[in-house]
Amino acid sequence: MSASAAAGVKMVSARPCITASQGMLASRAAVSRIETTARFASCPKICCSRPLSSKRAGFVVRAMSGESGPQGLPIDLRGKRAFIAGVADDNGYGWAIAKALAAAGAEILVGTWVPALNIFETSLRRGKFDESRKLPDGSLMDVVKVYPLDAVYDSPEDVPEDVKSNKRYAGSSNWTVKEVAETVKNDFGSIDILVHSLANGPEVTKPLLETSRRGYLAAISASSYSYVSLLQHFLPIMNPGGASISLTYIASERAIPGYGGGMSSAKAALESDTRVLAFEAGRKGKIRVNTISAGPLGSRAAKAIGFIEKMIEYSYVNAPLQKELLADEVGNTAAFLVSPLASAITGSTVYVDNGLNTMGLAVDSPTITS
């Protein structure tokens, strides 16, 4: 669920950020056990929001060495560059997806909600995320560059004066969607993968009947239109054959009491937009567009809804696969979806929830158990 529930960075000006998009996003854990038989080269460098050399020597994490040929069917993203919007800590789905893509060989760029930028970059520099940066081979994920981003605003003209003067935005510039896309183009020329892992519903704890127009529209703006805007501005710099993914939640199609403030509506819009964007981006730029509907996971962001632990317990008891859902499982699915292995998959909502979405009856219901 995004700030309103979900794992990435939440984007509503002058409000505490809640990361990650998708329903109860977040996660615990180390990402990706992508089954590649290859070996990975260590890339411990971290570069924050400062200009980088266009050559970027030494930044790419290599998924497979040339010493031995690949066996089986590995996910190989070597030579690909990914921009992941909505990473503000090492706890959510955005981080998990970044690790999975890095483990497969992709170069990682991230967009971080402006008020969370300093803390995130400082934690990276001081090694606070080193343990969670570890890839399957023991090397560290390399975050090539961190960009300030507030996806609620498309261009500088959209930013109200109270936000421009807000001290939480002081010291940062070029953080609207249009400006970030232009900066990435200037720094790197192009990208191959775009990930939307952010959402926010300022009134998520309110029932829909008590949600204000302002709160409802804020949820739609931050959680669904932000994806339209990102793809709109990044599509011109995406290489043909690339892919984009977002994170959604089952509340888009089922009633989840407590997941309010218009967030269920925002997720429904996100899934509908995924289908339309798949057609438009596919015809215009040969880009695939999919969304991942993940089950409930415990994270800082998901705690905003107030009952995440109960949802995790409900899922464990009632899902076909009675096991804990981990962030790396979402990360691995994302790596597959943006890889050549999924070259014919677009416009889809892919469920990563231990099968909970298939259930029409709660097996732990008192009516059933009695």
Kindly list the catalytic residues.
249, 259
Q: CB within 8 A of 219, min separation 6: which ones?
A: 4, 199, 200, 201, 202, 203, 204, 261, 262, 263, 265, 266
Do the Cβ atoms of 61 and 159 come closer than 8 Å? no
Q: What is the pLDDT of residues 81-100, one digit of tens each?
A: 999 999 999 988 999 999 99
Q: What is the pLDDT of residues 276-308, one digit of tens each?
A: 999 999 999 999 999 999 988 655 555 566 667
Residues 176-183, mean pLDDT to the nearest whole number: 98
Check residues 74 and 22 and name the one with the higher pLDDT. Answer: 74
Start-to-end C-alpha separation, the chain: 32
Looking at residue 71, its pLDDT comes to 67
Looking at residue 309, its pLDDT comes to 81
Q: What is the rounded distance in angstroms from the CA atom of residue 237 to the CA atom of residue 298?
A: 35
- Helical segments of the chain, H only: 2-5, 93-103, 117-125, 161-164, 177-188, 213-220, 226-234, 263-285, 308-318, 327-337, 366-369
Looking at residue 329, its pLDDT comes to 96
Would you call 198 helix, strand, or coil by DSSP?
Answer: strand
Q: What is the pLDDT of residues 75-85, one digit of tens each?
A: 999 999 999 99
Looking at residue 237, its pLDDT comes to 98
**Can you give the pTM of this predicted structure?**
0.81
User: At residue 128, does pLDDT exceed 80?
Assistant: yes
Looking at residue 73, its pLDDT comes to 87
How sure is the predictor about 365, in pLDDT bands with cuts at 50, 70 and 90? confident
Instruction: Write the DSSP symbol of residue 338.
Output: T
The residue ranges of DSSP E strands in the chain, in sequence order, are 81-85, 107-113, 143-149, 191-196, 238-248, 288-294, 349-352
Residue 8 phi/psi, 5-degree rounding, is: -165, -145
Looking at residue 292, its pLDDT comes to 98
Residues 263-281, mean pLDDT to the nearest whole number: 98
Looking at residue 25, its pLDDT comes to 37
Most trustworthy range by pLDDT among 23-32, 246-255, 312-321: 246-255
Do the Cβ atoms of 2 and 16 come closer than 8 Å? no
For the chain, the average pLDDT equals 84
Residue 178 phi/psi, 5-degree rounding, is: -60, -45
Q: What is the rounded distance in angstroms from the CA atom of residue 220 to the CA atom of residue 222?
A: 6
Task: Identify the CA nearest to 46 among candidates 114, 113, 115, 102.
Answer: 102
Residues 115-134, mean pLDDT to the nearest whole number: 96
Check residues 36 and 235 and name the one with the higher pLDDT. Answer: 235
User: At residue 224, does pLDDT exceed 70?
Assistant: yes
How sure is the predictor about 369, in pLDDT bands with cuts at 50, 70 and 90? confident
Looking at residue 68, its pLDDT comes to 52
User: At residue 63, does pLDDT exceed 90?
Assistant: no
Gyration radius of the chain's alpha carbons: 19
Check residues 143 and 43 and name the one with the higher pLDDT. Answer: 143
Q: What is the rounded distance in angstroms from the CA atom of residue 214 to the CA atom of residue 225?
A: 15
Check residues 370 and 82 and name the one with the higher pLDDT. Answer: 82
Length of the chain counted residue by residue = 370
Do the Cβ atoms of 315 and 354 come closer than 8 Å? yes
